[in-house]
């Protein structure tokens, strides 16, 4: 439904090919006919005013949307050429991880167990050395290792908000996903923690594709390579961030970037 000329296909390898995606809560559509391609090993920012369907959109990408009561999805989402709507969601979610708006470490588990939750919950047994290695690797990637290496067996809920969010990132990274979805990961954090996570996002794109929802235009400018602009459930514009920010092709994008609504 979005104007074709405003949706620019990215260059380089594509990981998600989304075609005419509709997502509903009951009878009410929250995402309306979105078509776009997400580039591999890049950071794609999803922007738009509150309630425009950003969260709903990325929750479709790992089939979490279906967990909401009465929720439904139509269209096609190809992940490396296979439609994930036809794959078991349990498998999709291993390949497409998620970091949520509010840090949500498991309060019943230690930091160590939190990182390995993707294995423990599924009943996957790891050898001791392998588990240790996975934990260290994931925590290092999430830039948390140095802060928690001496308290791995304390509960994750004792950490600060920013540390908890990085723990959640480590938890998602530990299962080695191909894509990491992040839903406003810094909106509940202080500026210092936010800066840390932004650095982390830029660092992580070497190994994993990132789709990040953000309210913060400056943040999108700092971290993303591509940007998508949503308005009332429609994808209005999609393209390289630099292009979208300097010469927006749609009037609504321009107004949003100028802070007209928000």
Partner 1 sequence: MRSILWRKFKDRSALLVITVLAFLPALPLFHILYGIFRLGLPAFSWSFFTHLPTPPGEPNGGVGNAIVGTLMLSMLASALAIPVGILSGVYLSEYARGRFGEVVRVAADVLQGVPSIVLGIVGYLWLVKPMGHFSALSGAVALSLMMLPVIVRSTEEILRMLPYTLREASLSLGVNYWRTVIKVLIPTGLVGITTGILVALSRIMGETAPLLFTAFGNPFWNFNPLQPVDALPLTVFKYAISPYQDWIRQAWGASAVLTLMVLGLNLISRILARRLSGDGK
Partner 2 sequence: MGWGDPDRIFYRLCWGLSLGMVFLVIGIGITLFWGSLPSLKAFGWHFLVGRIWDPVNEKFGALPFLVGTLITSFGALILTLPFALSSGIFLAEYAPPRVADGLSTVIDLLAGIPSVIYGLWALFYLVPLVRWVEMKLGVIPFGLGLPTASLVLAVMILPYAASIIREVLRMVPHELKEAAYGLGATRWEVIRGVSIPYGLSGIVAGLLLSLGRALGETMAVTMVIGNRSEMPRSPWDLANTMASVIANEFTEASKDIHLSALIEIGLLLFLITLGVNILARIIILRLQVR
Ligand X SMILES: Nc1ncnc2c1ncn2[C@@H]1O[C@H](COP(=O)(O)OP(=O)(O)OP(=O)(O)O)[C@@H](O)[C@H]1O
210 and 225 in contact (C-beta within 8 Å)? no
Alpha carbons within 13 A on the beta-carbon side of 102: 3
Give the one entry of ligand X, partner 2, partner 1, none that residue 55 binds, where binding means its C-beta sits below a cut-off of 5 to 8 angstroms depending on kind: ligand X
Given the complex with ligand X, which of 54 and 196 has the nearer CB atom? 54
Span near partner 1 by CB under 8 A; candidates 29-37, 120-128, 184-192, 218-226: 120-128
The residue among 126 and 232 lying less far from partner 1, judged by its C-beta, is 126
Backbone angles phi, psi at 259, to 5 degrees: 85, 25
**Min CB(175)–partner 1 separation in Å:** 11
- Residue 205 belongs to what H/E stretch? none
Q: Residue 50 binds what, of partner 2, partner 1, ligand X, none (CB under 5 to 8 Å, by partner type)?
A: ligand X
Q: Which residues of the shown chain bind ligand X in the complex (CB under 6 A)?
A: 25, 30, 48, 50-56, 68, 215
Under the binding rule (CB under 8 A), the answer on residue 82 touching partner 1 is no
Q: What is the DSSP string of 51-69?
A: TSSHHHHHHHHTT-GGGST
Q: Which does 218 bind (CB under 5 to 8 A by kind): ligand X, partner 1, partner 2, none?
A: none
Edge-to-edge order in the sheet of strand 43-47 = 96-99, 179-183, 209-213, 43-47, 226-231, 234-240
Chosen from partner 1, partner 2, Mg ion, none, partner binding at 124 (C-beta under 5 to 8 Å by type): partner 1
Minimum distance from residue 160 beta carbon to partner 2 (Å) = 18
For the CA atoms of 65, 238, 86, 121, what is the dihedral angle to 10 degrees? -50
**Minimum gap (Å) between residue 55 Cβ and Mg ion:** 3
Q: Which does 67 bind (CB under 5 to 8 A by kind): Mg ion, partner 2, partner 1, none?
A: partner 2
Element (H, E) at 248: none
By CB under 8 A, residue 91 contacts partner 1: yes
Least distance (Å) between residue 217 CB and ligand X:
13
Q: CB of 123: closest distance to partner 1 in angstroms?
A: 6
Rounded Cα–Cα distance for residues 133 and 152 (Å): 13
Do the strands 43-47 and 28-39 form a parallel or antiparallel pair, or are they unpaired?
A: unpaired
Q: What are phi and psi of 76, to 5 degrees?
A: -135, 140
Alpha helix segments (H runs only) across 30-151 = 54-61, 89-95, 111-115, 117-120, 128-141, 145-148
Applying the rule CB under 8 A, the residues between 122 and 141 that interact with partner 1 are 122-124
Contact between 67 and partner 1 (CB under 8 A)?
Answer: no
Which residues make up the interface to partner 1 (CB under 8 A)?
88, 90-91, 122-124
């Amino acid at each position: 439904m979005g104007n074709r000329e405003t949706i620019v296909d990215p260059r380089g390898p594509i990981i998600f090919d989304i075609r005419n995606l509709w997502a509903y809560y009951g009878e009410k559509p929250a995402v309306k006919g979105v078509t776009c391609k997400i580039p591999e090993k890049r950071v794609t920012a999803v922007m738009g005013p509150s309630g425009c369907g950003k969260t709903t959109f990325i929750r479709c990408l790992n089939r979490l949307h279906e967990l909401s009561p009465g929720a439904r999805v139509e269209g096609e989402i190809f992940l490396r050429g296979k439609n994930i709507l036809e794959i078991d969601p349990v498998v999709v979610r291993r390949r497409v991880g998620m970091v949520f708006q509010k840090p949500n470490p498991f309060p019943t588990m230690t930091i160590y167990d939190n990182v390995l939750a993707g294995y423990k919950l599924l009943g996957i047994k790891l050898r001791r050395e392998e588990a240790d290695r996975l934990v260290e690797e994931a925590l290092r990637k999430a830039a948390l290792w140095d802060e928690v290496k001496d308290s791995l067996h304390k509960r994750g809920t004792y950490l600060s908000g920013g540390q908890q969010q990085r723990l959640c990132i480590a938890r998602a990274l530990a299962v080695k996903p191909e894509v990491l979805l992040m839903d406003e990961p810094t909106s509940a954090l202080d500026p210092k923690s936010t800066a840390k996570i932004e650095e982390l996002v830029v660092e992580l794109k070497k190994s994993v594709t990132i789709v990040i929802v953000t309210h913060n235009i400056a943040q999108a400018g700092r971290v993303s390579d591509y940007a998508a602009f949503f308005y009332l459930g429609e994808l209005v514009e999609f393209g390289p961030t630099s292009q979208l920010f300097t010469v927006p092709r749609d009037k609504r994008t321009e107004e949003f970037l100028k802070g007209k609504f928000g």
